[in-house]
Amino acid sequence: MAKAILKITNLRVESINGTVLVENTSLELKPGEVLGLIGESGAGKSTIGLASMFYARAGCRITGGTIEIDGQSIGDLSADGRRDLRGKRIAYIAQSAAASFNPAHTILDQVCEMPVIHGLMTRAEAKAWALELFKALDLPKPETFGNRYPHEVSGGQLQRAMTAMAMSCKPAILVFDEPTTALDVTTQIEVLVLIKKLIRDFNTAALYITHDLAVVAQVADRIMVLRHGKMMELGDAKQILTAPTTEYARALVTERAASDKLSVAVAPAKRQPLLDVQNAMGVYHKFVAVNNVSISVAQGETVAVVGESGSGKSSLARLIIGLLPRKAGTVTFGGRELSPALKQRSKDDLRRIQFIYQQPDVALNPRQTIGNVIGRPIEFYFGTPRAEVKQRVAKLLTQVGLPEDYAKRLTTALSGGQKQRICIARALAAEPDLIICDEPTSALDQLVAEDILKLLKKLQDDLGVSYLFITHDLGIVRRIAHRTAVMLRGQIVAEGTTPQIFAPPYHPYTERLISSVPEMRVDWLDEVLARRRRAQV
Amino acid sequence: MINRRYWPTVTAWIGAAIVAAFIVIAIFAPWIAPFGESQSVGETWQPSTNTYWLGTDNIGRDILSRVIYGARTTIGVALVTTVLSFMIGITTGLLAAVGGPAIDQVLSRLVDVILSIPLLIFALIILSMMGSSLITLVLTIAVLDSTRVFRLARSVAQNIVVLEYVEAARLRGEGLPWIIFREILPNALPPMISEFGLRFCFNFLFVAGLSFLGLGIQPPLADWGGMVRENGGAVFGGKAAPLWPALAIALMTVGVNLVVDWILSMNARPSGASAEM
């Protein structure tokens, strides 16, 4: 049995005001082994990842436990000793590659910097090694790739370039912190494949941090489930996926598995379309973001628009509400044509379409009380007297599952999920016919997102409101949408009832999207690759 | 739990004490001052005595009384000016940020023009043309100073305008006044408040400076800048007369700055020292 290369014992991390972020966590990593750390935000995954290099974020401190690399406790080393270790023996790969590269230097310069500084290689050697890494990571034109600046390459390529940077000193341990979370599913799969290959080829040990069980299942040998800074469960990847022992792990697994299945959404009887968009075209400066798109939503129906980032789905939503100028086509709502410009729409037209944003944090004014936020649309659209507004706000709060006395609180005093509920209450306050939801759950944790989806569904059953649901997450589409439209480069490439979209014959792009969503099986990634290889032959 | 970070520091307490003392003096001047504001009470250029604690000035007025009344005019004029300047600056600045590119261009270029002319020269020209009444003085300084407030308010608001809660208000169909004063202003206030202290200091010195040049507050009203001018020559005679109003100017400026420093440190992020560098 090989000796542990990284050993963390009884780790404890606190913030400066005394909140315990991580406590009593121990782990061991053997050469070539990959350990997945999984949990919701605030579970302490990243804190542990950083602590493995004996580093704590601003405002945090490691207050207990030992961290050993190659049997040497890093806590006992001098600052210089630690600096020498970091990058050389253990390297970190962050979630946002774009924020981790210096935009003023070429990629090659940044990849070569570390081995030269550590005195491991000469610059020429470092360059040759970087080229090899670029090739191993399947980057386009590896010879010249490094001469480009970070903004000149795509997000997936930049994430791979950061992996190359982390590998530049040939470290024994890599810490991946949500490396594919910011990427589209089709890009994620490419990056996952390469990370997996790299780890195997160089026999590197790794900590892989993510919130997506299906992703970690593809790369990790063992999985540690974390919650509120404590370890809930540690086990073999297969065991965690198929037979989790703790309740929390089980909830995570069932919830993730549910998104793979089609829920029985019975399409409402064919009715007159409430919203009808015909041949719409929207242009940002000279870029055509929405090109000849037609879509309709009936009363009480949920229509999902899916696509990867940059496909124009959000632009379509902005075109409908009048924020993106419409160059051609018509938008009819409730039998009346809507003006392309927001300012020319009547108050009633504005009231009947409401919008829910992706980031509840910035969608609520931090200086207003919840009562004001929800009460304003009531006052504004209906001219309701104060006392009645108060009652209505209380009723709306109950409707979205929050206590009535929240009305007096400031919006900043809530969690992300609660904030999103407030946004929903604000939309409902206007008594709309259609609510456009722009990725309303993608900034939320899995279990919280699930509750929000349930709430939206319940509100639809109770109130008969229609949704136009913008999302990149096929799992959500399967569960909530009656009909689905798939967007690619500003156009709708496939449209139909959700069961139609998710059953053969697929549109080639839809098939690619569907097959790229990780599934909850440890050998899923290898299967997909094998299938795609066969298809190419 | 009370957040210790918001407790005033020692220097902030000193600053607050100075500012508070001057404000009390300004408000209760008629009750505190031993003599009248422009009353000649004795011989000229008397040194400190039991009756005239700080001595008398060039026409035999009690300097202590005049410093006390001077607090009233100097601080009062500076305060009114700064409040007015902020009202103008914030309204126009927020309007420029919210009202679209055309309004922004017109307002911003107008401000550029005013800013391109040195402030003191501009004020001197206007005051010598229009005559130096208290109202022209206040209006002139307020309008000139509001250009600086405009710049800050506009840039702060530009960062807020793009946030989604402002967009949500637009989508609701809210008018400009609601967006400016209910959605943006409350969020733009924290940086504006510390700026208020700094602008107040500047206006205070500006008023004193103009008075020193003879175009500010006019006699017989007592004000610190004017007092330095009236008694300036006495320094060469080895008399302390002009030093007292000058000391008052310096003390007030330092006091306000100490308070502003504390407000600024409060707005700054919590000490971001990581576990190690």
Q: Does A134 touch chain B (CB under 8 A)?
A: no
H helix or E strand, kind and range, residue B155: helix B134-161
Do the chains contact at B164 and A363, CB–CB below 8 Å?
yes
Chain B residues in contact with A357 by the CB 8 A cut-off are 164, 168
In a domain, A356, yes or no: yes
**B175 touching A, CB under 8 A?**
no
pLDDT for residue A127: 92
> Per the domain annotation, does B49 fall within a domain?
yes
Looking at residue A264, what is its pLDDT?
54
What integer pLDDT is reported at residue A260 of this predicted model?
Answer: 65
In 3-state terms chain A splits into helix, strand, coil percentages (rounded to 5) of 45, 25, 30
Q: Is B270 on the interface with A (CB under 8 A)?
A: yes
Compare all CA atoms of chain B with the CA of A358 and give the residue at the minimum distance: B164
Give me the pLDDT at residue B2, please. 44
d(CA B102, nearest CA chain A) in Å: 16
Calculate the alpha carbon distances from B268 to B10, B155, B264, B271 in Å. Answer: 18, 18, 6, 8
Query: Distance (Å, rounded) from C-alpha B142 to C-alpha B81?
Result: 5
Say which CATH number the domain at B168 has.
1.10.3720.10
**First vs last Cα of chain A: how many Å apart?**
41
| Count of CB atoms situated within 10 Å of the CB of A267 | 14
Q: B272 and A342 in contact by Cβ < 8 A?
A: no
**B4 touching chain A per CB within 8 A:** no
pLDDT reported for residue B54: 78
A59, A362, A381 member nearest B270 (Cβ): A59
* Residue A33 in tokens: 């082994």
**Across the interface, do B173 and A368 touch by the CB < 8 Å criterion?**
no
Q: What is the tens place of the pLDDT at every residue in B188-245?
A: 988 888 889 889 999 989 988 888 888 888 878 888 888 888 888 777 777 778 888 8
Q: Dihedral angle at the C-alpha atoms of A117, A47, A443, A215, nearest 10 degrees?
A: 80
Q: Given an 8 Å threshold on Cβ–Cβ distance, is B172 in contact with A430? A: yes
Q: Give the DSSP per-residue string, A402-438.
A: --GGGGGSBGGGS-HHHHHHHHHHHHHHT--SEEEEE
Query: In this predicted structure, what is the pLDDT of residue A351?
Result: 93
- The pLDDT of residue B13 is 92
Chain A positions in Cβ-Cβ contact with residue B183 (cut-off 8 Å): 365
| A173 CA: distance to closest CA in chain B (Å) | 21
Q: Which among A82, A355, A381 has CB closest to B171?
A: A355
Q: Is A2 helix (H, G, I), strand (E, B) or coil?
A: coil
- Look up the domain containing A407 and give its range: 273-516
Confidence of residue B1 (pLDDT cuts 50, 70, 90): very low
Between CA B44 and CA A4 the distance in angstroms is 92
Phi, psi of B175, rounded to the nearest 5 degrees:
-85, 170
Residues of B in contact with A345 (CB under 8 A): 173
Is B272 a domain residue?
no
pLDDT tens by residue, A168-210: 888 989 999 888 877 788 888 888 888 888 888 888 899 999 8
Counting residues of chain A whose pLDDT is more than 70, the rounded percentage is 97
User: Which stretch of A310-324, A443-457, A479-493, B2-16 has the lowest confidence by average pLDDT?
Assistant: B2-16
Residue A289 inside a domain? The answer is: yes
Q: Is A465 exposed, middle or buried (0-12, 13-18, 19+ CB in 10 A)?
A: buried
Residues of A in contact with B167 (CB under 8 A): 323
Per-residue pLDDT at B267: 60
Strands (E), A54-172: 60-69, 72-73, 90-93
Q: What's the pLDDT band for A60 if we cut at 50, 70, 90?
A: confident
CATH number of A319's domain = 3.40.50.300
* Token representation of residue B9: 């520091």
Chain A CB within 8 Å of residue B165 CB: yes
State chain A's mean pLDDT as an integer.
87
The amino acid at A433: D
Binary contact (B172, A357; C-beta < 8 A): no
- Two structure tokens written together for A10: 């009884």
The interaxial angle of helices B185-212 and B224-231, nearest 10 deg, is: 20
- Our count of domains for chain A comes to 1
> Which three-class secondary structure string do you get for A87-109?
CCCEEEECCCHHHHCCCCCCHHH
For residue A138, the 8-state DSSP code is T
Q: How many helices (H) and strands (E) does chain B have?
A: 11, 0
Alpha-carbon dihedral A524, A529, A533, A535, rounded to 10 degrees = 50
- Kindly list the residues from chain A whose CB atom is less than 8 angstroms away from the CB atom of residue B170: 342
Does any domain span residue B275? no
Distance from CA of A57 to the nearest CA of B (A): 6
Q: Do A345 and B173 touch (CB under 8 A)?
A: yes
Contacts of B273 in chain A (CB under 8 A): 58
Chain B residue closest in CA terms to A355: B168
Q: Do B272 and A430 touch (CB under 8 A)?
A: no
Residue B26 lies in a domain: yes
Residue among B165, B186, B274 minimizing CB distance to A364: B165
With 0-12 / 13-18 / 19 or more C-beta atoms within 10 angstroms meaning exposed / middle / buried, residue A502 is middle
CB contact under 8 A, A363 and B272: no
B276 CB within 8 Å of a chain A CB: yes
Rounded Cα distance between B147 and A207, Å, is: 55
Most B-contacting residue of A365, A368, A382 (CB-CB within 10 A), to test interface: A365
Beta carbons of B187 and A368 less than 8 Å apart = no
**Structure-token pair, residue A523:** 């050998």
Work out the average pLDDT over A423-447: 90
Is there a domain that residue B210 lies in? yes
Q: Does A58 touch chain B (CB under 8 A)?
A: yes
- Whether A4 and chain B come into contact, CB under 8 Å, resolves to no
Burial B17-44 (b: 16+ CB within 10 A, else e): ebbeebeebbeebeeebebbbeeeebee
pLDDT, mean over chain B: 85
Provide the token pair at B217: 């507050």
- Asked whether the beta carbons of residue B187 and residue A357 sit closer than 8 angstroms, the reply is no
Whether B272 sits inside 8 A of A345 (CB atoms) is: no
Overall average pLDDT of the B52-60 stretch: 77
> Using CA atoms, how far apart are residues A484 and A496, in angstroms rounded to an integer?
6
Q: For tokens 């308070």, what's the residue?
A: B259
Specify if A296 maps to a domain: yes
Flag whether A94 is in a domain: no
Split into its structural domains, chain B has a count of 1
Residue B96 domain boundaries: 8-267
Radius of gyration of the CA atoms of chain A, in A: 25
Residues of A in contact with B168 (CB under 8 A): 355, 357, 363, 426
pLDDT at B89: 95
d(CA B213, CA A80): 61
Tokens of A39: 């949990």
Residue numbers in A near B272 (CB within 8 A): 58-59
Residue A106 covered by a domain: no
- Taking contacts as CB-CB distances below 8 angstroms, the residues of chain B near A347 are 173
Q: Do A357 and B171 touch (CB under 8 A)?
A: no
* pLDDT tens readout for residues A494-537: 888 888 888 878 888 888 888 888 888 788 888 888 888 887 76
Query: Average of pLDDT values for A306-324?
Result: 88
Of B172, B186, B271, the CB nearest to A367: B186
Q: Residue A332 corresponds to which tokens in the numbers above?
A: 């009819």
Chain B nearest C-alpha distance from A362 (Å): 6
How close B183 gets to chain A, by Cα (Å)? 7
Kindly determine whether residue A366 and residue B183, on different chains, have CB atoms separated by under 8 Å: no
Burial code (b: 16+ CB inside 10 Å, e: under 16) for A28-67 equals: ebbebbbbbbbbbebbbbbbbbbbbbbbbbebbbbbbbbb
Q: If DSSP codes are grouped into helix, strand and coil, which group holds residue A156?
A: helix
What was the ipTM of the complex prediction? 0.77
List the single residue in A58, A82, A365 with the smallest CB-CB distance to B183.
Answer: A365
- State the Cα–Cα distance between residues B235 and B252, nearest whole angstrom: 22
Taking the Cβ of residue B168 and every Cβ of chain A, the question of whether any pair is shorter than 8 Å is answered with yes
For residue A471, give Cα distances in angstroms to A262, A317, A358, A519, B196: 16, 11, 10, 18, 45
User: A362 to chain B: nearest residue by CA?
Assistant: B164
Residue pair B58/B117 in contact (Cβ under 8 Å)? The answer is: no
Q: Does A382 touch chain B (CB under 8 A)?
A: no
- Give contacts of A 238-297 with B, CB under 8 A: none
Per DSSP (E only), the strands in B160-222 are: none
pLDDT digits (tens, 9 = 90+) for A446-480: 788 888 998 999 999 899 899 999 998 888 888 88
In angstroms, what separates the C-alpha of A264 from chain B's closest C-alpha?
33
A205 within domain boundaries: no
All residues of chain B having their beta carbon less than 8 Å from the beta carbon of residue A434 are none
Whether B274 sits inside 8 A of A350 (CB atoms) is no
Q: Is B156 on the interface with A (CB under 8 A)?
A: no
In a domain, B214, yes or no: yes
Question: Residue A268's pLDDT band (boundaries 50, 70, 90)?
Answer: low
Contact between A34 and A199 under an 8 Å Cβ cutoff? The reply is yes
Per-residue pLDDT band at B270 (split at 50, 70, 90): very low
